[in-house]
Every structure is written in structure tokens, then in C-alpha cells.
Structure 1
Amino acid sequence: MSETPRIVQVAVPAPLRRTFDYLPPSSGDPRPGVRVRVPLGRGRAVVGVVTGTATASSVPTARLKAVLGVLDEEPLLPPEVMDLLTWAADYYHHPIGEVMQSALPVRLRGDRPASAAGDSVWAITAAGRAVNEASLNRTPLRLRLLSALKKEEQGLTADELVRISARWQAGMKALVAAGWVARRERDCLAPVPRTLLPPPALNAAQADAVRAVLASRAFRVFLLHGVTGSGKTEVYLRAIEAVLATGRQTLVLVPEIALTPQLVDRFRSRFGVAIAVLHSGLSDGERACGWLSARAGKAAIVLGTRSAVFTPLPRLGLIVVDEEHDGSYKQQDGFRYSGRDVAVMRARRSGVPIVLGSATPSLESLYQVQRGRYAYLSLPDRAGAANPPALDLLDMRRLAPDESLSRPLRQAIGECLARREQAMLFLNRRGFAPVWFCPDCGWLAPCSRCDARLTLHRASARLRCHHCGAEGPVPKHCPACGSERLRALGEGTERVEGALQRMFPEARIVRIDRDTTRRKGSLESAFARVRAGEADILVGTQMLAKGHDFPNVTLVGVINADQGLYSVDFRAGERLFQQIVQVSGRAGRAEKPGRVLIQTYHPDHGLFGALRLGDYRQFADDALLERREAGYPPFSFLALLRAESSSPGGALKFLGLARSLAERCPRAELEIMDPVPSPMERRAGRHRAQLLVQSRRRAPLHAFLREWLSLLEEAREARRVRWSLDVDPADLY
């Protein structure tokens, strides 16, 4: 008879790369995957996740503390997700407790019960809709609440109501008593429609792609390379349809929140199944409810952003990663994982196919195709009757712009409006102008906390730092020379919007950037206006460049295409090409012909020549040759050790120690660079530096990192700075 385990191993939310041993609780079953409340340190209790049990501990039994309580009857994280998280913690060399925490919805990271209940909402009743609002003129609070509820069929939560009025509860009590409003629980799953739309006919390339995916009965990675408008989503839908027919679930990842409403609507119109949506724009209750519904198998489709990759799915049959090249899949702080790469590993461990879709696949994925590890599926033509847009370069060296808009672009916008079609202008810089400048002495408004300039936001009359968030009033006199001739230099989306209002006073202009879409639902509302034909010109940042289908947009103007040419990052050219292809793809997606005008001061640059030819595969092949010669990824593997300190030189001093400690570790096939200041050395008042480690092979790199990190964690100097390790960094800054 085997000995009963006496030790419970728990991953706690602490910056330590190990689990902690505890004695079992007086009651409850501490199985792997359940949450437990455990003591940590002096007088503090935290919630951790059980990773396993053992019969002995390296710590004397007399010194071990007992688990205070078991919070779940069944494991919240099933074995396959636990295995994936353990792998991720090891690969990215991140504390296992923090990795486990990141996989749970915020509401379940504490000791709340794991119940799939949606948020409480207040919704208008039929009697409330019949109320004459004029009768409430003497009670303005009730009027405001009732008016807001009439616009929200799903109702409003307490968090949403408090934005209408801090005193909303008193007014709501009266509305409920009158029978005009009812309190209920919001369903976190997208409702199943009564009628479904029939699928469109597939062209030959789409049909071949669907057949290839469905022929796979086990793990296989498919790279679906389809030009913008080629019908990649329809390929996803057909593959998902077949998976649903077998009773299995599908996980669909998208890079940004902005893409989820459109995809959810399209999925709902095709499938009579429950869909769980998971992203950071939802309330904690909504995310927990969707996550638990997926875990219970109630949601047949899970559609979410990066962190949804860890959602428990008991009947997983297919994974789809849309816009797989997008940098948003890489977490840039804390647990720095790649959602795309973890999704591939999850598919491998679950034995299911995975589809990576993009009009501009990452060079890493195309390299895997070259090596025969990924299957390549091509959609070379636009679906239906749509044709690729005509692309022209505007040589800004010979054109005098008016508020950054050249005469040919202004003329094209006018012609577009005359045809009652929509135009889209892309500028990946928000605010009015990136610089507030004194022409008399050359002073540029600096951020006091960063090595960066402040951006002018004219509408709010503020100067803001887009790196740390610091802001202040706009000075009217130069603090250096006293001049009153201060002026804005450069352009942002706010400035372009103002110029368009002056040039086209009758046009309805919608600006879409982080400043105009902060309020919940504002982004979806803006896109709805565009699709309903209530906007003539769209101006925005990359938020409107990805995956959106606006049938009446026939003109796209790229205002400052040269920004990416000046970066020191070896991925800059790839990203610029991808970005312009993505935004260009918004033009002419229906039967109307599209046109793209790109303003540049470098029309002879090879990147723009490749854009004109429209051959991304050739561009990627050339870029891979350059990467191979330079020894950059995907032909090598990188790890970046970052450090920051409140004192100048503190980060570099720590990294100097780290460089010396590296000499004690196995360094075969490694290149360890010297510490250097970060490209933006000071950010948010802290001084930053970095150290890069590079290897031609993955195995020796990770063997080195394991030993190196154990030495760093023992060093006293490591406690005097903030430091982190980024494996496979997306940005070298």
C-alpha cells in the first residue's frame, strides 16, 4: 500500500521561480489545479494554485505551515492547462505562481467562489420604454438614467451607471419601484440567434485550404497566407463548422479588442452555438463568467485576445490565430509570453490542428514553412468580384502639403466624397502634434520624467507624454527665452481631423484613436457609424488598420509612411510593410475599385518598390536572406535582460554584475553582449539599461539562462533594482 502524500506543493503569486511546500489542510482535497489559501511570510495569507503533492519536503516538517483552506471542489485548471502553464513558466523563465495567476480571470485570483454568474445589470422594461420622458423633466437624474438605459438593450452595470451619476442608486431605486427598470443578471455568453445566414460559395483556393485543414486529424500548423479581402475568415468559419459538428470546441485568438465585435457578429450569424468572448475590455464578472462557461464546455467557441490562450477547453478541436504576425500577441511586461507561440504549443500538446492567418505573415512563420514544419496555404486573390486597390506613391519632396495633406490626396478625397464613397486616412500618431516648439531658441517641450518630447493635445489644451502619461498645461511663453511665438511641429490624428474639417466642411469625419475610444462601447459605436454610412472620412491610428471590413471605403491615404524607416530595430522594415499592407487592404473590399495613396519623402526606397509590386512573399524572402546574413531571428534566439533604477547608473551597475556572473555559466554557442543604456534611457523617472544574449541554438541558450538566473536571484544587488528577463523579445528597447 502506497504512502499517503503529506506535502502539498503550491504556486503562490510571488517573484520566485519555485513552488512552496505546505502541510495538508484539516479538510478539503488539495488536488493539482485547485486554488488554496495559504500563509506566506509573517501574518499574510495569499491564494495560490496546487501544482502537486509529495511524500517529503526539503524543509523540515516542523517548519512547514498548513494550507488554510481549499477553495474549489474541482480543479479550476485542468491537467492539460497546468502542463501548458508549467511549460510556459520554464520556457519564459518566469515565476510559476505569477504564470498561474495570469491564466486566471481577475475575479478568480482571490478567494471568490468559481460560479459562472454574470454581472448584475439594470435594464429598461416595456413599461419604461413607454414613458414620456417629458414627464421626468423635474427629476433630471431619473431622466438621465432612463435615457441611458433606452440606448442599452443589455442593460448597464453599477460601474457603468456610476459614470452617469455618482448618485445613481437613489434615482434607480425610484425607477425600479415604478416598474420602469428591472434588475437582472447579464448573460456573459453571446446569445444564439434564431436565424442563421447561409455560407457564401468558396472559390477554389478557399476550398483547397478548408480541405487541407479538415484532413488533419492531429497536430499540424497551417499558415494561411491570404491577401487582404481574400476571405481568410470564411476559411476559419468552414473549418470551425466541421469541428462543431463533431461536438468539439474552437479557440479563436485575435490581436486586439477592436477586432472582436466584428468577428463575434459574424460568428453569431453563422453558428447556433454559445460563444464566450474574453478580453480586457470586459468587466471582471463578464470575463470570469465566460471563462468558467468555456471550462464547463458550455461555450462551443471562445474568441479572445492574448490571454484567452490559457482558457480551459475540455473538448478542444481547433485553434485559430488571426493576424498571427501582430506584435500585440507578445506581452510586454510581467509574464512576457507570446500568445501565438503558446497557442502553437497548446495545439501540439492537445493534438489538434492550428491555423495561423495573415495577409503579411511574420518572417518567423514563413521560415517554419521553408523548413517544412508549417504547411503553407495560399489565398492569392480577393474573394468575390473585388480587385486589389491601385497603389500610388506621392513624392512629398515635390509636393507642398497643407497641414500634412498633399494636393493629390486632397483632390482624391474630394472625388471620393463626390461619388458618395468613404475615405480613410491613416497616421500612426495620435494627438495634435508630437512637438511644442520655440522657433526663436529651438526649445522643445520635454517630458520631465522621460527622454522624450511632450505631445500637444489641442482640444484639451494639454501637453502629454505618450510614454509615462505625465501631462501639464500648454505654456504660452518659452521657458528658455521667453518668446511668445511657440508653435506646433509635426502632425497627429487630431491635427489632421481639424484640417479635414476646414477643407471639407460638409463631410462627416470620425477620428478613431486611443483618445476618442476610451469610454466603453465607443469604439464599437464608431465602427457602427462607419458601416451605417454615417461617416464620410475616417482618420485614425493602427486601431482602424486591422481586419475591419468597410465596404464603402474606396480610398486609403497613408500620411506619414516614413516613420518606420528611421528605427534601429531590425524588425522595423517588416513591421512597416505589414502595417501599410494592412491599412491598404481596407480599400475596395466590395465591388467598387479601391485606391491607395502613400505620402513619402523616400519614394525610391526598396520597401516602397516592393509595396507597389504587391509581392509580400518576395519581400519576405529577401528580408529572410538579410536576417540570415546578420544572424538575427529566426536564425538565432535572443534573451534580453532589462533593468531599471531610480538612480543614474544603478541599472548599468547591476547589468555589469550580471555580465560577470555569466562567466560562471555554460556559455558554449552563446554571444553575451555588454550592458548598454536602453534606447530611451529614462522613462517614467527611472533609468533603464539592457543586456542581450544571443545563440544560434535554443537549447544552449535556455541551459545558460537557468543557471544564470539562479545566480542573479541570489545576488544582493538584484534587490536594489527592478529587473526582468524577456525571452524571444519582440522589441530590443
Structure 2
Amino acid sequence: MEIVSVAVPGPWWTDLSYTHGYPLPPGIRVRIPLGASSRVGLTAVAEEPENSVRPDDIKEIIDVIDRLPPLPDELWRTICWFAKTWFIGKGMAAKALLPVPFLAGEPLEEVCPGPRTGSSSVRYVYEPRDSDRMAVYRDILTASEAPLLALFPELSAAKKFWDMLPAPVKEEGVLWPDLSKGKQWDFWKRSRKGEIRFAVGCQTASFIPISGLSTIIVDEENSGAWKTQKHPLFHHRSVLAARAGFAKADLVLGGRMPSAKVFLQIGRDNVRSRIRDRLIFVDMRDASSYSSDGIKDRLPISRPLIRETRNSLEKGRWVFWILDRKGYAGEIFCEDCGSPVRCPKCGGVMRWEDKTGRLRCLDCGSVEPVPEKCPTCGGPFLEGQRPGLEALEKHARSLFGRDGIILFSDDGTKIPSAASIMKNYPEAGIILGTRKILSLTDDISPGTVGWIDADAEARVEEYDAKARAFSLMWESAWRGESPDSRKIVIQSRRPEKNWQQTLGIGWGHFWERELQERMEWELPPFVPMLKIDIPAFKRKQLAEDLEQAGFDYWESEDRSDTIWVRTKKFDALRKTIAPYFDIKNTRSGIPRITIKLD
């Protein structure tokens, strides 16, 4: 009997050992006994020889599902690379990249894809106007008959690109987001057999096993929409770049501006798309401000913002006002003792939602009624701080009338389509919301975009906060149709200072400044940062292990279960922390790692 290593989805790194009558190649799906039930796993190459384990002591594989490896070699190698680089097990990596039916053991036809010859190359397409970039992508797709993936961070962009393609070309491919879950699995299987030449899609299309993949296009590679929202947290661009290398496929990276990592490769901004004449900076300290009942702070709504809003509305154009603060007020404080009202369940900050008359925890999401007195000192006077979108809506209606003011509070409901908005509001109006309303510019081109509190975008306690803020405002200036006549009103306490100053010059100037600062502080992309969430009672031992191994680390002051590590030595770190990821630690708690690469 042969000992076979099997990777099973789980928080551990451990490959489980089973026996079989003959050796199995890596990447084969097998059904194995695990506990009181059975699971589907993937055969893997054992990282360490099983010298101390006898075959007689190991359970047998129940069933071999595939006779040949069901995945293209490039995709299996991508999964293994992803697991090692992101500090997860191969089973978890496969679960993150592959469809559910695959790991449920659904049958697949045998295919024998031949290895692709040649070498991969990287091409950069950084054009601020969406139509210009998509025209380049279309030319790449139509100029070749080779298999291709064209990927976009949002559904609306993928559909817009699909609509640009000639009808005969569409017959060779598929628009992935238009498919139901069942049809996606059907087309996933067809792509293995070479029945689909190309796919246009979003995140869910990133790892389709297209036979003979020759080109991967990733639009808006700098967008945060490419980041996953659940563990394992990763940016699709990084994994797709690795996949292109393993597949010997060309990689096309594009967008309105590059990410930090890509900028280090391409250098200066050759496009030089200036928007200085479209920017209007307003000093919030000198701007008109409006008070809201029960809220201490005032909302700045400057005369330039009111003027540009009126001008756009008179021309029949839409206006977007952006404030990344939901609810009526960011939080509630006691006037007597100064204590904030905290969540009784987790201690998190509670947001005041006036429309529901409730407080909502920003951490755990629990909802509580507004207390009649301070939970800390019993004081009767509570007041809100940092007015939000609900307060902004009241002032917008008082300034511009009650009709044509649309609030998207981003409370978990889906933003309506642009078509439905324009149908319900045939005359242009003002759309209020968080940064998410920028997606509407794909079909509704606003005449004015107003950033109510631009400083708040860069106030987040993250090393890349300024880059995120710059990217958002650059996007608001260029995204959608006919952006050249759009005015951007930026209300700030330090207008045209620091990162805001570079908006009028371009992203090349911004990245030169930003990366110089990051290099001095040894921050990503120069030195990766890793966040390790570990059960609190294990943190002290992990800190001692990191100290002994010579790693640069620090313990979180806010959380008792978090340690940060700054290092380029991933292999050495993996050896140091490997014992914490053994399957034996399942009950006591296995850590989770988040990586910051750029």
C-alpha cells in the first residue's frame, strides 16, 4: 500500500495521510474518511516524508474520483503557489479559487490539455478614459484567436466591454456574470474542453480553466474591488499575475492609474492627464456650515459646491455628493462625562440612525435603541458627533427642494440600476451616498461630484490611506462617459496640500512622493506586512518565537489577539509559525494571516 498526502479545505496547513493501492499524481480528487463523515480532497506532494507512520496505521482512501488530474497544470501550480505565499493550506487555497461543485466531487470528463509553449510578457494600459482602455482590450481580443480572459472589477464594466464586441466574436466567448450558478458550472466544464475561447467577467471568472490560456486582461488592477471580503484575504491581481506566469500567458494590466507595485515597474505617468482646471478646492474652515438637531458638529456645504450643483442641475446633469459616513451621526457621546455609547455586546462604536431611531454597532452589527441616559454615568444629555448622510439629506432638501434628492445609505441593500434611477427621476437630481455611488457614473455621467469631507478619506489609520483617497478622487474625475466637463469640488481642512496637491498634476507625481515616504518607513510594497490573528492565550508564546527567530514584529495595542510582522523572509517565517497551523490545534484555535503586499 502507498501512502498518499491529501489536502482538505480547513484552517490548517497539514496534508492528511491515507493509503491507496498505487501512487496517485498530485491534483487528483479523492474521497477520504475524516472523523465521522467523508470529505473530498486533492492529492498533494508530501512536504515531509512520513518516516514515522506505518501504512497499517492509516485509513484508506474511499474513492478516487479522477483518473487524470482534472485541472490544467498551470491552475494547479497557481493553487500551490497561492497556498504557500498566503500562509494557508492547499485545501483552503483550492476552496478559494475553485467552484463548489468541483470540491463536492461532481464528475468531470477526462481531458488532456497540452502544455503551452513560449513565454509570458506584461503589457500596461493606463488610460484615464474608460472607453479608450476598453478599445485597446477589444483590439487585443479580436486580433488573436487564442484563448483569453478579460476581467473587470465590477459587473457594469464587464457588461460594457462585452457590448463593445462584434457579434461574430461574442459567439466564441461568454459573459460570465450573466450566467446562473448552474450555468457557470456548465461553462466551467466546457472551458476545460476548449469549447470556449474567451470569457469576460469579474472576480468569479478569474480562475476558469480555459484550455490553452494565452492572455489575461485585468482592468482597474488598482481597485479595491479586487480584494476578497472573507478569509483568505487576497488581491486577485497578485494571484492572476502568478497564474499568467505558470500558464506562459501574456498579462495585460490596466486602469485609470496603477497600483504602487506596478508603478515601480513602469515609472512615470506618460499619459499626463491633467485635471487641474476641473478641480475646485474649498477650505472647510471658511465654508458655510449647517447645524443638525442633536449633533454637536456642523456639516460643511460650501458656496462653490452649491454653485456648481445649481449649474449642473440647470443644464440637466446629475450631481453626486459623497460622504463616507452612514446614518445620522457617526456616534453618540455623553455631554457630562464625555463617554461614547458603546455596543453592549462587543464594545464597538455605535452609529446613530435617525430614520430608524436606533444605534447600530459598526463591528458586530447589533442594533440597540437610543438610550435615554448615559450608560456610563447616567447623565441625561447625549449628543451626536460627525454628522452623516441622513443629516446631509435634510440640508440638501432644504437647499434644493424635496424632489430629486436621492439618498443611498448603503445599508446592505443593492444600489438601484442607473436605468431605474433615470426612469423614476427623468429630470436630473442629486444623489447622496458613500463612495459606492461612483459605480453609477458608468451610466449616469454627473456634471459635478462633491466630496463633502475629503480629509475623512485619508484619515483611516492605514499606511495606504492617502493612496486610497487619491485613487477615489481620481476615479470620480474620470470614470464613466464624457468626464472632461465634470467638476470635482473637494472640501478639505487643508485644501491643495500634501496628496491633494498632486491631484492636479497626475498619479505619477503622487506615487513618486508616496513611495519615497513608504521606502523610508519600510512599508509595502518595499517590505510586506503580515497581520497574525491568534487566540489571545497563544500570543505571548508566538511573540517569543518571533523574537527568537529575529523577526521585526509588534503586538497590537488595541487587540489582545493580534501580532504584526514586517518581513521579506516568507520561507523563514513559515517555518517559525508552522506548529501553530497543525491540524492538532483545531480545537484550541488556528491563527489567520492577512498579508499587505502593496
TM-score past 0.5 threshold: yes
> In angstroms, what is the RMSD of aligned CA positions?
3.5
What do the CA deviations read for 1:394-420 (whole angstroms, capped 9, x no partner)?
Answer: 111011223442233123212211111
What do the CA deviations read for 1:500-539 (whole angstroms, capped 9, x no partner)?
Answer: 2343236423444532634xxx54x246534997452222
Which residue in the other structure is 2:452 paired with? 559
Kindly provide the amino acid, as one letter, of the partner of residue 273 in structure 1. E
Task: Select 1:255's aligned residue among 123, 139, 153.
Answer: 153
Which residue in the other structure is 1:549 paired with? 442
3-state SS of 1:240 partner? helix
Task: Select 1:92's aligned residue among 73, 80, 86.
Answer: 86
**Superposed displacement of residue 603, structure 1:** 1.4
Is 1:672 equivalent to 2:552 in the alignment?
A: yes
Listed as ranges, the gaps of 5+ residues in structure 1 are 116-216, 371-375, 646-650, 682-686
Which residue in the other structure is 2:260 paired with? 363
**Superposed displacement of residue 302, structure 1:** 2.6
Is 1:724 equivalent to 2:595 in the alignment?
A: no
Inter-partner Cα distance in structure 1 for 2:105 and 2:586: 32
Kindly provide the amino acid, as one letter, of the partner of residue 138 in structure 2. L
Q: Is the 8 A contact 1:393 1:598 kept in 2?
A: yes
What do the CA deviations read for 1:351-398 (whole angstroms, capped 9, x no partner)?
Answer: 22111112221111111224xxxxx8954459xxxx886101111101
Inter-partner Cα distance in structure 2 for 1:714 and 1:108: 25
Which residue in the other structure is 1:702 paired with? 570
Which residue in the other structure is 1:391 paired with? 279
Inter-partner Cα distance in structure 1 for 2:194 and 2:338: 63
Kindly provide the amino acid, as one letter, of the partner of residue 350 in structure 1. A
Which residue in the other structure is 2:565 paired with? 692
Q: Is the 8 A contact 2:121 2:249 kept in 1?
A: yes
Task: Select 1:471's aligned residue among 347, 367, 375.
Answer: 367
Kindly provide the amino acid, as one letter, of the partner of residue 601 in structure 1. R
Q: Is the 8 A contact 2:95 2:103 kept in 1?
A: yes
Which residue in the other structure is 2:38 paired with? 45
Q: Is the 8 A contact 1:434 1:490 kept in 2?
A: yes
Task: Select 2:506's aligned residue among 610, 615, 624.
Answer: 615
**Superposed displacement of residue 461, structure 1:** 2.9
What do the CA deviations read for 1:124-160 (whole angstroms, capped 9, x no partner)?
Answer: xxxxxxxxxxxxxxxxxxxxxxxxxxxxxxxxxxxxx
Which residue in the other structure is 1:79 paired with? 73
Q: Is the 8 A contact 1:550 1:586 kept in 2?
A: no
Matches within 5 A, 1:299-314: 299-306=196-203, 308-314=205-211
Task: Select 1:436's aligned residue among 310, 332, 335.
Answer: 332
Distance 1:75 1:500, change over 3 A: farther
Q: Is the 8 A contact 2:524 2:597 kept in 1?
A: no
Task: Select 1:537's aligned residue among 415, 425, 430.
Answer: 430
TM-score of the aligned structures, taking structure 1 as reference length: 0.71
Q: Is the 8 A contact 1:564 1:576 kept in 2?
A: yes
Point out the more displaced range, 315-324 or 475-484: 475-484
Inter-partner Cα distance in structure 2 for 1:496 and 1:677: 35
**Superposed displacement of residue 312, structure 1:** 0.9
Q: Is the 8 A contact 1:437 1:489 kept in 2?
A: yes
Inter-partner Cα distance in structure 1 for 2:282 and 2:454: 10
Which residue in the other structure is 2:543 paired with? 659
Distance 1:259 1:441, change over 3 A: farther
Q: Is the 8 A contact 1:530 1:550 kept in 2?
A: no
Q: Is the 8 A contact 2:331 2:352 kept in 1?
A: yes
What do the CA deviations read for 1:180-201 (whole angstroms, capped 9, x no partner)?
Answer: xxxxxxxxxxxxxxxxxxxxxx
**Superposed displacement of residue 276, structure 1:** 4.3
Kindly provide the amino acid, as one letter, of the partner of residue 726 in structure 1. T
Which residue in the other structure is 1:462 paired with? 358
Inter-partner Cα distance in structure 2 for 1:267 and 1:510: 34
Q: Is the 8 A contact 1:549 1:586 kept in 2?
A: yes
Distance 1:291 1:447, change over 3 A: farther
Is 1:330 equivalent to 2:323 in the alignment?
A: no
Inter-partner Cα distance in structure 1 for 2:16 and 2:9: 11
Which residue in the other structure is 1:406 paired with? 302
Q: Is the 8 A contact 2:418 2:443 kept in 1?
A: no
Q: Which has the bigger relative contact order, CA under 8 A and spacing at least 6?
A: 2
3-state SS of 1:368 partner? helix
Distance 1:319 1:546, change over 3 A: farther
Point out the more displaced range, 577-586 or 655-664: 655-664
3-state SS of 2:342 partner? coil
Q: Is the 8 A contact 1:554 1:592 kept in 2?
A: no
Inter-partner Cα distance in structure 2 for 1:369 and 1:57: 47
Inter-partner Cα distance in structure 1 for 2:318 and 2:197: 37
Which residue in the other structure is 1:517 paired with? 413
What do the CA deviations read for 1:37-56 (whole angstroms, capped 9, x no partner)?
Answer: 21013x221111233699x9
Inter-partner Cα distance in structure 2 for 1:361 and 1:70: 45
Task: Select 2:127's aligned residue among 216, 220, 226.
Answer: 226
**Superposed displacement of residue 551, structure 1:** 5.6
**Superposed displacement of residue 319, structure 1:** 0.8
Which residue in the other structure is 1:584 paired with? 477
Listed as ranges, the gaps of 5+ residues in structure 2 are 110-117, 291-298
**Superposed displacement of residue 348, structure 1:** 1.4
Distance 1:53 1:480, change over 3 A: closer
**Superposed displacement of residue 630, structure 1:** 2.0
Inter-partner Cα distance in structure 1 for 2:488 and 2:581: 53
Q: How many residues align?
A: 580
Q: Is the 8 A contact 2:287 2:301 kept in 1?
A: no
TM-score of the aligned structures, taking structure 2 as reference length: 0.86
